[in-house]
Structure 1
Amino acid sequence: MESKELVTLTAKACDEKRANDIVILDMADVSLIADYFLICEGSNERQVQAIAREVKAQAEENGIEVKRMEGFDKARWILVDLNDIVCHIFHKDERSYYNLERLWGDAETVAVEGIEG
């Protein structure tokens, strides 16, 4: 699966669990870490965990290996590493503190059709 398809799949998984403010950053020209960062937030710990579970489930259903998932227990910032895509799922209170969009401000924002962000 191409990176663009995978980031779309990931965004839709987040959207299915009512993730708020979904932002996709094209990291290809900015970092060697990943092709895309997907950043979103949930309003409480249970929602943040539900979003992460859905991302993991959708990836595995499509034969994509989840390299690592960090921060699940505390659910303040869960990072789901899908190799070419890194999904950052924040608790709403943490997102503005870390402000990854500003930190990676050189990255272009990508729109995904059918996803409100």
Structure 2
Amino acid sequence: MNLEEIARLAADAAEEKKAQRVTILDIRGLSVIADYFVICHGNSATQVQAIATGIKEKMEEAGIPIKGVEGFREARWVLLDLGDVVVHVFHKDERDFYDLERLWGDAQQVRVQ
């Protein structure tokens, strides 16, 4: 599975948990930390945790190693490190505040199916 397919799989898993505004950013050439960001949000702490758990389970089923998970307990900004794909699951308020899409405005958006 290539990196874009991994990003799409994470986006699909987020959508299955009713994540809002699921976005994939292609940041290749813009950053050394990753090639793709998947960004989404939930409207409550419980939903943020459900989205993160759903993505984690989908990755494990596909045999994709998760290198780390940060922020799960607080459920304000959960980061799932899949290596060259980084998934950001925000609580709505934090997503609006940090606005990663604006911060990474030079990145190309990948169409989410």
State the TM bucket, normalised to the shorter chain: over 0.9
| Deviates most, 104-113 or 40-49 | 104-113
- TM-score, length of structure 1 as denominator length: 0.94
**Cross-structure match for 2:96:** 96
Structure 1 gap ranges (5+):
none
**Cross-structure match for 1:84:** 84
Residue 62 of structure 2 corresponds to residue 62 of structure 1:
yes
Report the residue type matching 2:98 in the other structure. Answer: Y
Identity %: 54
User: 1:34 aligns to what SS in structure 2?
Assistant: coil
Aligned-residue Cα RMSD (Å) equals 0.7
- TM-score, length of structure 2 as denominator length: 0.97
**How far did residue 107 of structure 1 move?**
0.6
**How far did residue 35 of structure 1 move?**
1.1
Report the residue type matching 1:28 in the other structure. Answer: R
**How far did residue 89 of structure 1 move?**
0.3
**Cross-structure match for 1:51:** 51
Count of aligned residue pairs for this structure pair: 113
Report the residue type matching 1:38 in the other structure. Answer: V
**Cross-structure match for 1:18:** 18
Q: Which runs of 4+ in 1 moved over 2 A?
A: none
Q: Is the 8 A contact 2:40 2:89 kept in 1?
A: yes
Structure 2 gap ranges (5+):
none
User: 1:52 aligns to what SS in structure 2?
Assistant: helix
**Cross-structure match for 1:34:** 34
Query: Take 2:108 and 2:4, find their aligned partners in 1: how far apart are those partners?
Result: 14
